[in-house]
Amino acid sequence: MHKYILKRLLMMIPVLVGITFIIFFILNLTPGDPALIILGSEATDETVAQLREELGLDDPLLLQYGRYMLNLMRGDLGHSYLNDRAIFPSIMERLPITLSLAFLSLLIAVVVAIPLGILSATKQYSLLDSASMILCLIGVSIPNFWLALLLILLFSVKLSLLPSGGLNHGLVSYILPAITLATSGAASMARQTRSSMLEVIRQDYIRTARAKGVRKNKVLIRHALKNAIMPVITLMGLTLGRNFGGAVVVESIFTLPGTGRLLLEGIRSKDIPMVMGCVVILSILISIANLLVDIVYGFVDPRLKAEYK
């Protein structure tokens, strides 16, 4: 198992290098002179030229990229154009909020989706099945920012039950944002659980299990679910990845001081190193999420376990 994890970790590296490469070059297409942004429009030409020299902005792009990567490996993500604070610590102090949001959403999604999917599959064609599948269809079609607004309208404005933003209420502050993020993931996971279960229930080994006298519920969980869960686990990884992306919007709406919002502010103020830093960190997180998914696979499917012994 350890070899498997190590191998996947090593494979992550070229992917991350590729990602940083692409992002670096895209961001360097941004119009505007960074030195000018830092110094402000009143700066003289000399000071601008001097700063450009200091920051190495006139060097060929590949060289700049190389320099960036070397610094990255030392944990130095540069300094913000805006306020000259070191980027890495800035991101790190906000990261726990984004992580909490992403994982809480995933948890809510899984807890809701899997039982719903199983119930729909066992009671196929019933009212429950039709109703929940319609809900899921709407769930994948609804934009998360609109859902956020509707939730705020209902729970904050009309009912005054939940906060509409900020972290002032501790864990409760995470409720609406997490539900917002969880919705589309839950919807697609419920659908996938249902269709996987439907397929698995028809398999011969389920019939064998029943012919052994195994109780119906136990058949569902021990025999059926374990086989059906694989594609759902893939979706979980995908959902976690999308949560990191969706966090940008959700943190913005609910004014949560997370990494996503940092990214957005960086874009608005053309703070390239900040944008670069946030994207790099988020990409690393997403790759780790995918790795986690692969590890879970290994535990669930013995055929894979054997391969990677």
Partner 1 sequence: MSEPASKLKKYKKRSQAAEVWRRFRRNKAAILGLIIFSCILLVSIFADVLVDYETKVKEQNFMNRMAPPSWEHPFGTDEFGRDILGRVIHGSRLSLAVGLGSVVISLLIGGALGAIAGFYGGRLDNLIMRMVDIFMAIPSTIMAITIMAALGASTFNLMLAIGISFIPTYARIMRSSVIGLRNTEFVEAAKAIGAKNSTIILTEILPNCLAPILVQVTMSFAFGVLNVSTLSFIGLGISPPTPEWGNMLSTAREYLRDAPHMCFFPGMAIVLTILSLNLLGDGLRDALDPKLKQ
Partner 2 sequence: MEIQTSEINTVLEIQDLVVNYETDDGIVHAVNGVNLKLERGRTLALVGETGAGKTTIALSILRLIQDPPGKIRGGSIRLEGEDLLTYTERQMEAIRGDKVSMIFQDPMTSLNPVLTVGDQIAEVIQIHQKVSKAEAEKKAREMLELVGIDGDRAKEYPHQFSGGMKQRVVIAIALSCNPTLLIADEPTTALDVTIQAQVLELMKELREKYQTSMIMITHDLGIVAETCDEVSIVYAGRIVEHGTLRDIFKNTKHPYTVGLFNSLPNIKRRKDMLKPIKGLMPDPTNLPSGCPFHPRCDHAQEICSKRKPLTTYLSDTHFVECLAYENGTGVTIAEREG
In the block, tokens 């990191």 appear at 244
By CB under 8 A, residue 268 contacts partner 2 = no
26 sits in which H/E element: helix 2-27
Q: Does residue 86 come out as left (phi exceeding 0), alpha (psi in the -120 to 50 range) or beta?
A: beta
- Tell me the window of 61-69, 96-104, 170-178, 299-307 that interacts with partner 2 (CB under 8 A): 299-307
249 interface partner picked from partner 1, partner 2, none, CB below 5 to 8 A per type: partner 1
- Tell me the window of 2-10, 39-47, 113-121, 282-290 that interacts with partner 1 (CB under 8 A): 282-290
209 interface partner picked from partner 2, partner 1, none, CB below 5 to 8 A per type: partner 2
Radius of gyration for the chain, computed over Cα atoms and rounded to the nearest angstrom: 24
By CB under 8 A, residue 245 contacts partner 1 = yes
Rounded Cα–Cα distance for residues 171 and 230 (Å): 31
Options 2, 3, 10, 31; binder of partner 1; rule CB under 8 A: 31
Nearest approach, Cβ of residue 256 and partner 1 (Å):
14
By CB under 8 A, residue 29 contacts partner 1 = yes
- Tell me the window of 109-117, 204-212, 213-221, 285-293 that interacts with partner 1 (CB under 8 A): 285-293
By CB under 8 A, residue 146 contacts partner 2 = no
What phi, psi does 86 have (nearest 5°)? -65, 135
Rounded Cα–Cα distance for residues 245 and 286 (Å): 9
Helix axes 226-253, 175-201, angle to 10 degrees: 160
The encoded tokens of residue 7 equal: 């191998």
Rounded Cα–Cα distance for residues 232 and 136 (Å): 15
The encoded tokens of residue 59 equal: 């060097």
Q: Does residue 82 come out as left (phi exceeding 0), alpha (psi in the -120 to 50 range) or beta?
A: alpha
Options 2, 73, 306, 309; binder of partner 2; rule CB under 8 A: 306
2 interface partner picked from partner 2, partner 1, none, CB below 5 to 8 A per type: none
What CA–CA distances, in Å, run from 109 to 38, 49, 122, 184, 235?
42, 52, 20, 8, 11
Nearest approach, Cβ of residue 42 and partner 1 (Å):
24
By CB under 8 A, residue 61 contacts partner 1 = no
Options 263, 273, 281, 297; binder of partner 1; rule CB under 8 A: 263
Rounded Cα–Cα distance for residues 43 and 283 (Å): 36
Q: Identify which of residues 28 and 203 has a Cβ nearer to partner 2 in the complex.
A: 203
By CB under 8 A, residue 1 contacts partner 2 = no
Rounded Cα–Cα distance for residues 212 and 218 (Å): 12
By CB under 8 A, residue 10 contacts partner 1 = no
List the interface residues with partner 2, window 198-237 (CB under 8 A). Answer: 203-205, 207-216, 222-223, 226-227
What phi, psi does 168 have (nearest 5°)? -70, -15
By CB under 8 A, residue 30 contacts partner 1 = yes
Nearest approach, Cβ of residue 275 and partner 1 (Å):
6
In the block, tokens 């874009």 appear at 267
Provide the CA 277 distance to its chain's centre, in angstroms: 16
Q: Which residues bind partner 2 (CB under 8 A)?
A: 203-205, 207-216, 222-223, 226-227, 300-303, 306
- Contacts to partner 1 by CB under 8 A: 15, 18-19, 22-23, 26-31, 137-138, 140-146, 149-150, 152-153, 157, 241-242, 244-246, 248-249, 252-253, 263-264, 267-268, 270, 275, 279, 282-283, 286-287, 290
